[in-house]
Chain A
């Protein structure tokens, strides 16, 4: 079983106040993408707050989310932190809550059945007046989501926020979400990828982690449709692991595709071992992450 996933992001209720503590930027992006995708599919208003809305939109688009189209229709709103939670005089919980309540009121007025708000909290790492009120904001969000048809996903970088703050903030949420992780040590990480569905390998993969890879692949091929093995941050993979991936691809029905996203050196390795001759495999080269 995958470990360290307290709640799957795909299983959040519509009045959830979820805390996503992430170790890698890919995790924040991937889980936010899943939260956004499911919100759009349910016909909800979706608000995404980040330091760089343009960059966030571009990254969501790569993950097969039609961000531009949804923004054009008004179903999706991309907001800069400075225009949302943070005011010109710094941060205050009251002002931030006021912004959030406005978002909720707007979405109701425009007829949306619900609203999903994804907050990249990295703005709170910058020194600013009033930041000590951050726990007050989280408490007020927790009180506001109940019965309001609003769910909020707060993303905290666990490498950059200090442990004391995280220990204080995390319990104020109703759910803790994390990527389902099959293997995690300083050399290798194997976790589920939610959007597009599949798995993500980062670091160096060899036969010593074969069991975890087999489990991850086994779960991935049970989902319907195409699957992606995202190896953009993988710098090494050995022959037995390549075989395991290609065997999994070969087991797929011919109507399905396994997309292998990898750096050129890894792409070459897959081709040398014959992966490109499998009709189910689509090798996609990427420069990095």
Chain B
């Protein structure tokens, strides 16, 4: 399948800074990596199935599981359609919250915008009716950044009823 060779390389020099960030984030507290899965346009269906299974297992109620599945799908779809054409999802659980991080493999497949850093709002617009707008609606937290090594989108789903701003264990 085309695109599998674009799997992100954790050892890639341009990714190392962002990745270090993620490991630090995960290494804190009781984090447990539940899923680490590469995807491209041919495996989005499998990605959704894996997220659904893990979210149910993590104890998210059904409607929140549906929300998580669509949120991850939309982030992955952005990586496939507007980013590198492939990417990687990591999903973990900490203090009852489900964290997902979607990385695309680097510069856009088309070559446009390559190397432009900073916020990616220009490339991934948060417009009403668009995928990212929906992600922002259903996720408790969302952040999207791009660097020379690619784009990273992270979302957090807190256990029902918890206010994310006051529930930090720190």
On whether the beta carbons of A239 and B130 are closer than 8 Å, the reply is yes
Kindly list chain B residues whose C-beta atoms are within 8 Å of the C-beta of A207: 77, 81
Given known A-B contacts A239-B134, A265-B66, A273-B134, A206 and B129 have beta carbons under 8 A apart: no
Taking CB atoms and an 8 Å cut-off, the chain A residues in 258-274 that contact chain B are 265, 268-269, 272-274
> Can you report 15 A-B residue pairs in the complex whose CB atoms are below 8 A from each other?
A187-B45, A206-B73, A208-B41, A236-B69, A236-B73, A238-B131, A239-B134, A240-B131, A265-B66, A269-B70, A269-B134, A272-B137, A273-B128, A273-B134, A274-B129
On whether the beta carbons of B129 and A273 are closer than 8 Å, the reply is yes
Kindly list chain B residues whose C-beta atoms are within 8 Å of the C-beta of A274: 128-129
Kindly list chain B residues whose C-beta atoms are within 8 Å of the C-beta of A272: 134, 137-138
Determine if B63 is an interface residue (Cβ-Cβ < 8 Å): yes
**What is the bound-complex CA distance between A208 and B134, given in angstroms?**
18
**What is the bound-complex CA distance between A273 and B128, given in angstroms?**
7
When each residue 96-137 of chain B gets 1 if its CB lies under 8 Å from chain A and 0 otherwise, what string results? 000000000000000000000000000000001111011001
Taking CB atoms and an 8 Å cut-off, the chain B residues in 18-76 that contact chain A are 41, 44-45, 48, 63, 66, 69-70, 73-74
Question: How many residue-residue contacts, CB under 8 A, span A and B?
Answer: 46
On whether the beta carbons of A238 and B66 are closer than 8 Å, the reply is no
Kindly list chain B residues whose C-beta atoms are within 8 Å of the C-beta of A239: 70, 74, 129-131, 133-134
Smallest CB separation, B135 vs chain A (Å): 9
How many of B's residues come within 8 Å of A, CB to CB?
20
New contact pairs (8) apart from A206-B44, A238-B70, A274-B129, CB-CB < 8 Å: A206-B45, A206-B77, A208-B44, A236-B73, A242-B129, A272-B138, A273-B128, A274-B128
On whether the beta carbons of B45 and A204 are closer than 8 Å, the reply is yes
Kindly list chain B residues whose C-beta atoms are within 8 Å of the C-beta of A240: 77, 131
The number of chain A residues touching the other chain, given as a range, is 10 to 19
When each residue 202-215 of chain A gets 1 if its CB lies under 8 Å from chain B and 0 otherwise, what string results? 00101110000000
Q: Determine the residue in chain A with the shortest Cβ distance to B138.
A: A272
Smallest CB separation, A179 vs chain B (Å): 23
On whether the beta carbons of B45 and A238 are closer than 8 Å, the reply is no
Kindly list chain A residues whose C-beta atoms are within 8 Å of the C-beta of B63: 265, 268
**What is the bound-complex CA distance between A3 and B24, given in angstroms?**
53
Q: Determine the residue in chain B with the shortest Cβ distance to A264.
A: B63
**What is the bound-complex CA distance between A272 and B130, given in angstroms?**
11
Kindly list chain A residues whose C-beta atoms are within 8 Å of the C-beta of B41: 208
Kindly list chain B residues whose C-beta atoms are within 8 Å of the C-beta of A273: 128-129, 134
**What is the bound-complex CA distance between A239 and B128, given in angstroms?**
10
**What is the bound-complex CA distance between A145 and B48, given in angstroms?**
51
**What is the bound-complex CA distance between A225 and B150, given in angstroms?**
48
Determine if A243 is an interface residue (Cβ-Cβ < 8 Å): yes
On whether the beta carbons of A204 and B48 are closer than 8 Å, the reply is yes
Q: Determine the residue in chain B with the shortest Cβ distance to A207.
A: B77
On whether the beta carbons of B48 and A236 are closer than 8 Å, the reply is yes
Residue among A206, A236, A239, A243 facing the most chain B CB atoms (10 A cut-off) = A239
Q: Determine the residue in chain B with the shortest Cβ distance to A239.
A: B131
Kindly list chain A residues whose C-beta atoms are within 8 Å of the C-beta of B77: 206-207, 238, 240
**What is the bound-complex CA distance between A76 and B28, given in angstroms?**
71
Kindly list chain A residues whose C-beta atoms are within 8 Å of the C-beta of B138: 272
Taking CB atoms and an 8 Å cut-off, the chain A residues in 183-201 that contact chain B are 187
Taking CB atoms and an 8 Å cut-off, the chain A residues in 121-155 that contact chain B are none
Taking CB atoms and an 8 Å cut-off, the chain A residues in 237-255 that contact chain B are 238-240, 242-243, 246
**What is the bound-complex CA distance between A201 and B44, given in angstroms?**
18
